[in-house]
Structure 1
């Protein structure tokens, strides 16, 4: 067995035994299911009791309109009954609004929320896993048995990537299969290929989650502190957005736009243009542009590579206490 394979096996075992990581893994698996359950509950069909309540409310409104027609905008009291009957809809949907479950539209709502939660938790798993090693001083002990630092760094990264990918793929696949089963039970039309598109969105999100886990790990290896890594991530998220917006590059260079492009297999974003300029052909002082899956993946991947290279260089050069 090679050194890398041996270290990788050890890191996979350590990852499964880290309690904080297991808590995060449980959250990755359960939170999307909770979101899916909430989506299914909020889109449930109206019950007989709710329909009866809505019908009773319609009758009360009708009587109120007939007795006080001017409050309801009737032109003449003599025509109040006909006016009220024509303008008050007795259907339950008029009184109780509840959206119908639609997998396609849920890709930008509950599905997107579930994917982003999983990605954030995977990043937290990456920072937590290695941050504990630096805090406890166990990194130096590990290097006593495997002095070559690059294989150690790579083994930890691969262990995190594979594990996060598996967790996220299982979780998001379960999310979409749950909603698909609910739609089938309610006899709702899903559309040809829609469920597969949703599953593919979840699988792309799983790849992003694996990258986020490695990115969080690499940044924590560079800073040697979980708190420091999370602080840098929060600062970049806040200050970076402000800087990009101030410089006019908040579209294509915005990490959120690129994550959305990867999750949804392409996305559109708004670009401000000088009003009346030759580029402003529709006189809207801007236009929509397409950010493709490849462009989004290239943006996120290049950022991950930069952080990883800096982390490897630092781990090789700096002393380990």
Structure 2
């Protein structure tokens, strides 16, 4: 039996992987069901009635504002604080009055953020799958047994990594197709599918591809960390340390030091930059003593920059993992 076929069977037979996939399906089903039940289709007549009511509310508010403004500001003396306050009064604007409509699922507008939800949840599952796929073999001793009759260490590890990447790609593709179908049905029954052009589908497809890249990257990192530590728990411990120490602790320290563009050093910002193509971080530590509006400085994180950093880190981790399995004693 070929090594690739054996690794495929080993992947499918792991009970932890089966349970993780069941948990993933359950989570996705709960989210999809909750969104389906919390939305409803709105008829054109109801939209028109709500728009008319919003217009009436706006007109009534303008009349009321003018009445109160004239009563309060008619006799004030120019140059007094009261006159300055009256001059700053703003007449109600039409955009402040939105139609009072129930939540309805607009596929063109609402589905893109849900691709990010899909990718983030599946990436967590992929990390545990990747770590357990190789970590369990190290902890149980089956890796040493395998390398006894198949002493080509690099080939064995490469095959395991390739099989993991293949299965994660298949799982991601199937789950994204089902995810898309579920919300397309939600939009048809509880919202709208209007405005879906070929360009919109292309944009959603590219977002899905970036989501696939995220799932694969996180799963492979889990695999490499478990390879280095020779135990699933090592990979999980490193992940927990990165989240608690590397993110929460780092955020607190950077905040105390008033480091500009603090969010640029945190993983969630880069996750959003990767999935949304860009993410703008702000620096409010600016001098507001001068004239004019006090606006924060901004910096844009791009998906290309985030992807380059992630790729470089993964390559370094891969080189170290393959070097240590070749040089280190496997006993």
The 2-side partners of 1:155 and 1:11 are apart by 8
- Establish whether residue 112 from structure 1 lines up as the match of residue 112 from structure 2: no
Structure 1 pair 303/103, CA: closer, same or farther in 2 (3 Å)? farther
Q: Which stretch shifts more, 168-177 or 22-31?
A: 22-31
Secondary structure at the aligned position of 1:141 is classed as helix
- Establish whether residue 251 from structure 1 lines up as the match of residue 263 from structure 2: yes
Root-mean-square deviation (CA, aligned residues, Å) is: 2.9
List runs of 5+ in structure 2 lacking aligned partners. Answer: 47-98
2:241 aligns with: 235
Render the CA deviation track for 1:156-193: whole Å, top value 9, x for unaligned: 11111111111112112221222123213456144234
Q: How many residues matched?
A: 269
- Establish whether residue 21 from structure 1 lines up as the match of residue 17 from structure 2: yes
The 2-side partners of 1:114 and 1:252 are apart by 23
2:221 aligns with: 215
Contact map agreement 1:211 1:304 (CA 8 A) in 2: yes
Structure 1 pair 161/29, CA: closer, same or farther in 2 (3 Å)? farther
1:137 aligns with: 141
Cα drift, residue 137 of structure 1: 0.4
- Establish whether residue 320 from structure 1 lines up as the match of residue 330 from structure 2: yes
2:277 aligns with: 265
Secondary structure at the aligned position of 1:252 is classed as helix
Structure 1 pair 162/222, CA: closer, same or farther in 2 (3 Å)? same
- The TM-score, its normalising length taken from structure 1, stands at 0.74
Secondary structure at the aligned position of 1:251 is classed as helix
Cα drift, residue 275 of structure 1: 2.4
Cα drift, residue 260 of structure 1: 1.7
2:175 aligns with: 171
The 1-side partners of 2:108 and 2:226 are apart by 37
The 2-side partners of 1:140 and 1:128 are apart by 16
The 1-side partners of 2:262 and 2:315 are apart by 22
1:182 aligns with: 186
1:255-294 matches, within 5 Å, as: 255-276=267-288, 283-284=294-295, 286-294=296-304
List runs of 5+ in structure 1 lacking aligned partners. Answer: 52-92
Cα drift, residue 127 of structure 1: 1.0
The 1-side partners of 2:173 and 2:24 are apart by 10
- The TM-score, its normalising length taken from structure 2, stands at 0.72
2:95 aligns with: none
